[in-house]
């Protein structure tokens, strides 16, 4: 009954021909995300990367669902460009999380899911089939996301560097991160602000490795 009520309250926009991403992520996801695909979101900073995917869809008038991420910062998503009125949040789906995700997949363009447990094979088959049918991208994060079979693209924060701290003091202004797209037969990376000083996601210069200093003792 709850699932039916949720599905009835969702926007039933027609699925897009392509699922857009922010311009800063296009070097690793040229042409956007493939409708109906399963995408892993991994690495330190994966929550911010997930928000960036949500922002890329919602700012182009798409709808997004976010499941199982109660600490997700909606203001941070808005700073990245997300339209808050196009975000559907289910913070604590409980043991019925596959049913909640299924209801969302039928109605929105992208669902960001924190996979709370090792996903049952039946749930993987059901949700993957629904995503393909409705052209919805399933973006999966969390420790159990890698157990999802059929994932052909993984976006991960390979390395990052916060700006604004010096010797343990200062104010965090932004984080430069290298985003890597792992797909069969290719690996491609790009540097972005995730987020930048103004909260947005934009291209960034690579972080230069620090040269070790030598102290000469006479």
Domain boundaries, the chain: 2-8+33-155
Q: What CA–CA distances, in Å, run from 90 to 3, 69, 104? A: 12, 8, 10
Burial class for 40, CB neighbours closer than 10 Å (0-12, 13-18, 19+): buried
The pLDDT tens digits for 195-208 are 999 999 999 998 77
Torsion of CA 172, 143, 82, 90, to 10 degrees: -120
Q: What is the DSSP letter of 36?
A: T
Q: What is the pLDDT of residue 212?
A: 53
Q: What is the pLDDT of residue 185?
A: 83
128 alpha-carbon distance from chain centroid: 17
Q: What CA–CA distances, in Å, run from 24 to 29, 49, 51, 157, 178? A: 10, 12, 13, 14, 11
DSSP conformation letters of 43-107: ETTHHHHHHHHHHHHHTTT--EEEES-TT--HHHHHHTT--GGGEEEES--GGGHHHHHHHHHTT
Q: What is the pLDDT of residue 163?
A: 80
pTM: 0.85
Say if residues 136 and 103 touch (Cβ distance below 8 Å).
Answer: no
N-to-C CA span, the chain: 79
d(CA 178, CA 69): 23
Which residues of the chain have a pLDDT value below 70?
1-17, 164-172, 209-218
The pLDDT tens digits for 146-195 are 999 989 899 999 999 888 655 555 455 789 999 999 988 888 999 999 99
Helices and strands per DSSP (H, E), number in the chain = 5, 8
For 2-8+33-155, CATH gives: 3.40.50.300
Nearest to 199 by CA among 52, 20, 43: 52
């Amino acid at each position: 009954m709850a699932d039916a009520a949720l599905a009835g309250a969702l926007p039933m926009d027609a699925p897009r021909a392509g699922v857009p991403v922010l311009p800063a992520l296009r070097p690793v996801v040229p042409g956007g995300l493939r409708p109906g695909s399963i995408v892993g979101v991994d690495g330190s900073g994966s929550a911010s990367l997930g928000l960036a995917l949500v922002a890329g869809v919602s700012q182009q008038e798409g709808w997004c669902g976010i499941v199982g991420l109660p600490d997700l910062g909606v203001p941070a998503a808005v700073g990245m460009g997300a339209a808050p009125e196009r975000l559907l949040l289910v913070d604590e789906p409980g043991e019925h999380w596959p049913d909640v995700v299924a209801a969302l997949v039928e109605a929105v363009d992208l669902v960001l899911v924190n996979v709370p447990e090792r996903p049952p094979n039946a749930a993987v088959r059901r949700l993957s089939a629904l995503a393909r049918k409705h052209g919805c991208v399933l973006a999966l994060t969390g420790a159990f996301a890698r157990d999802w079979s059929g994932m052909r693209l993984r976006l991960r924060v390979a390395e990052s560097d916060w700006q604004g701290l010096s010797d343990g003091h200062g104010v965090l202004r932004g984080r430069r991160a290298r985003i890597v797209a792992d797909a069969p037969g290719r690996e491609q990376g790009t540097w972005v602000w995730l987020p930048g000083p103004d909260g947005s996601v934009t291209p960034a210069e690579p972080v230069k490795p620090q040269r070790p200093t030598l102290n000469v003792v006479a």
